[in-house]
Amino acid sequence: MTDTHDTPAKHALNDEPIDDEIAQVLRVAKYPANKDALVDAARDAGVSNDVITLLDGLPEQDYADADAVEQLLGSSGASGLSS
């Protein structure tokens, strides 16, 4: 048998709690925001390291709003952030 605790973080991104944490960060971030501002907002919100790592992997650019961030995260495997 395999231990489910050894699942790579990428697979954990489909978990609803992580989607909820991402949505929480995107709601509190002040826009326009760059990647560093989103990571800072995530740390301030006290979300999991998986979410911080995910946001830290975003391209260096300014994001006009939460939708712009969600589009990139959606293409990276996270989904359901708007629901």
Distances (CA, A) of 50 to 1, 18, 32, 64: 25, 8, 23, 23
For 71, the enclosing helix (H) or strand (E) is helix 66-75
Q: What is the pLDDT of residues 20-57, one digit of tens each?
A: 999 999 999 999 999 999 999 999 999 999 999 999 99
- For residue 25, give the nearest of 37, 42, 40, 39 by alpha carbon: 42
1 pLDDT band (50/70/90 cuts)? very low
Beta strands in 1-83 (DSSP E): 33-34, 62-63
- For residue 29, give the nearest of 47, 41, 45 by alpha carbon: 41
